[in-house]
Amino acid sequence: MISRILAAAAPEGAETPNPLLPADYDILWSSVVFVVLLVFFWFKVLPGFKRMLDERAQAIEGRLADAEAAQKAAEARTAEVEADKAQLRAESSSIREDARAEGAAILSELKQQAAKDADRLSETTKASLLAERDSAANALRGEIGALAIELASRIVGEKLDDDKVANRVVDEFIAELEGKKAK
């Protein structure tokens, strides 16, 4: 079809050049252009292009690695903080436990002390009560003696107040007793 187009397109009478047969200058300039461009692309463009792509890949990888490292560091720090927190929590709870135990110990000690004090106090009180009772009993005994004598003297109708009379009664009583003995 192409050749028909070409044949139809050719002016009549003129010698039709065959477009499939190259002229020498055509081949020459085509080759020159090709070689120049090949050398240019091979040694100038593509090495630069490749280096740029490599650099970029490296840079991106480097940045990714940096980001990863940063994330790891952050994670480590978080874990550290968490561990610290847990430790602090444990410590505080143990301190609380200790305080509670100490408080209980102090309380029981105080209780014991108080009980001891109470005991001692009651002992002392008891002793003083006894002493007082004894002295009261002694006093009573003396008074009761006097009262009994007074009562007896009233009953015998004689005054036994003064010692002389008492002594005389006693003497008379003794003498009476002696006399009875003598008979």
For other proteins, the closer of residues 16 and 124 by Cβ is 16
Residue 58 CB, shortest distance to other proteins, in Å, is 9
Binding mask 51-90 for other proteins (x = CB under 8 A): xx--xx--xx------------------------------
Q: Give yes or no for residue 28 binding other proteins (CB under 8 A).
A: yes
Ranges of H-type helices in the chain: 2-9, 24-40, 46-156, 163-182
Q: State the nearest-atom distance from the C-beta of 67 to other proteins, in Å.
A: 14
Nearest to 158 by CA among 171, 170, 144, 169: 169
174: left (phi over 0), alpha (psi -120 to 50) or beta: alpha
| C-alpha–C-alpha distance, residues 138 and 39, integer Å | 146
Binding site for other proteins (CB under 8 A): 2, 4-6, 8-11, 14, 16-17, 19-31, 33-34, 36-38, 40-42, 44-46, 48-49, 51-52, 55-56, 59-60
